[in-house]
Amino acid sequence: MSLRNRIRALSIVLCGALASTMLLAVDARAEEAGWTVRDRPGGPTAELRLDRASGALGLSVSRAGETVLAPSPVGIVTERADFSTGLSFLGRSDRTVDEHYRTAAGKDRNRTVHMREARFRFRTGAGARLDVVVRASADGVAYRYDLPGDTGNVLQETSAFTLPEGSSAWLGAYRKDNENLFDAYTAAGAPAGEYMMQALFRTGNSYALVAESDLTGSYSGARLVHDAGSSTYRVKLWDPQVRTTGALTTPWRAVVTGDLATVTESTFTDDLAPASKVRDTSWIKPGRALWTWLAGGREAGQSLEMQKGYVDYAAARHWPYTVVDAGWYFDPAQWDVTDPDWQTHSWIPELVRYGRERGVGIQVWIHHRDLDTAEERAQWLPTLEKWGVKGVKIDFMDSEAQETFQWYDRILPETASHHLLVNFHGSTIPKGIQRTWPHVMSLEGVNGEEKKTNTARHLTTLPFTRNVIGSMDFTPGAFHRPNRPNAGSDASELGLSVLYESGIQNLAGTPESYDARPEARHFLEQLPDAWDSTRLLAGEPGTSAVLGRRSGNRWFIGGMYAGAAHTAEVPLRIGSGRWLVETLTDGPAGPVRTARTVRGGDTLSVDVVSDGGFAAVACRWSPGRTSCDR
């Protein structure tokens, strides 16, 4: 090629590159006011907008032609920079997130993640940098802040969620242990106050569950604050300042959205969380447990003989665990822990031996104050592992402060290294923790069975709120408790064991109450220890909830209704073909089992009593088959 031709070719390349650069600059200027992120057609779309006059960011979410989230403030304020205003756009980069992971517990054990992620880069007039990372999937939208420089401690977020006019809301007032009732409001009509970060809203045919994910000790827990007459719910952090050093990545602010089935079946908050930090998960075994606190209280916790009786009962039912609650150990301050034989004060090793011989593992309750220092954990955790204890139920953290999440960051790898399953009570709610730390079988964070304030409306709201975001230790099965709102419906109490998912399903009844209800006892004996998939069959928050959960080739169904007695109609969305369905409904002397043959997709008619429900199991029909028992 001649020199002239080479120069001409180079000029063409340079002109093309310059034209491309100018086109990108024009596009950036044109898009400066607004950018969209969507994973797939028909899925939710996030729109991030920058107000040119104020330099403030806002985020909205739409789905199927409906506004799910109206333009809502996005921003964060630190000691050295205000990222809520005065921002200018620097650029955008995109990537696809494709992951597959398996969990020990949850709605389903095999998860596939596909999300579109966009990183938007901004700076303040003073040059401080902020990245806003937005993700969209088929069932949700989430964003987080990434501060690449050292901008000092976080003072507040200006993040908020603004609902369209006329939206419905199901909210629970905030408590430090997340144990409060859910009730129904309009988004604008809810009383002024603070609400738990597990709020459900509805606009048209779309639902939106506000939550968070990937919360660690680098940050502070959040709640929602609502002003009277407003449709905006602001994010408030527990701590007045979040301590930071250097760069910071905040938790995800998530909106799980879709129709009600999509939201209920979603694993979005887990999908956002980091991958498992536990390499060997072979020892992690979910399962049913006989929980003896409501059955015997502190007296049971202080009695080896009573606990052996519970082990015998669990063994006969093929339940893999019993849980020994408060009372089994004295205050360690009264023990001389410098004595190498201090552990001999406990009869737990004898109970573990007794349970091992019968195929029943022992889990024990322990107070947070006895594990809140490195020295205490070094005393207790190796000892419990040496004794052969399978898990710990840690109670009374009662805080969502940054300091408390730093404690979670320490206790989680330590319990995993000692092969101890964990159930947190008096705690935060999951927030993706079960993906990252799969030995966490459950968390309380719910106004559960031991409370005396529950309502049928609350029971029918939990599957659409708290239990969406992770395992929930409600402790169903307390037939002997006269103050439960469904006390007139043993069948609905039985159904709660399916309706509510928990990696450790703590069954809270007395052996006597189970023996008095042989059909209920038989159903609980058949109940699997983990689920392969979950489907919403029917329901509306605060009114009714019917879920089907599959284990292998059998479906278990739990239903709960608030209101008058009626005949419920349940679509059997469990697969085509013929099924044998055994339903358990309320009879004059306890649950009654009825078998019938139906086709998948048919409607199952079930008679339910006032504030009642039902339980069922479905298996493939074959000639001569009369039971779904294995």
Q: Which residues are catalytic?
A: 395, 450
d(CA 117, CA 142): 9
Six-digit token string for 210: 């506000």
CB 475 within 8 A of CB 508: yes
Phi, psi of 27 (to 5 degrees): -60, -40
Residues 6+ apart with CB under 8 A from 11: none
User: Strand 590-599 and strand 578-587: pairing?
Assistant: antiparallel
Output the 3-class SS for 16-69: HHHHHHHHHHHHHHHCCCEEEEECCCCCCEEEEEECCCCCCEEEEEEECCEEEE
| Pairing, β 361-367 against β 391-395 | parallel
Show Cβ contacts of residue 347 under 8 Å, excluding neighbours closer than 6 positions.
304, 328
Using only C-alpha atoms, what is the Rg of the chain? 27
> What is the rounded CA–CA span in Å between residue 348 and residue 471?
27
φ, ψ dihedrals at 28, nearest 5°: -65, -40
Reported residue count of the chain is: 630
CB 563 within 8 A of CB 456: yes
Tokens at residue 340, please?
């190498």
| 93 burial type by CB count under 10 A (0-12 exposed, 13-18 middle, 19+ buried) | exposed
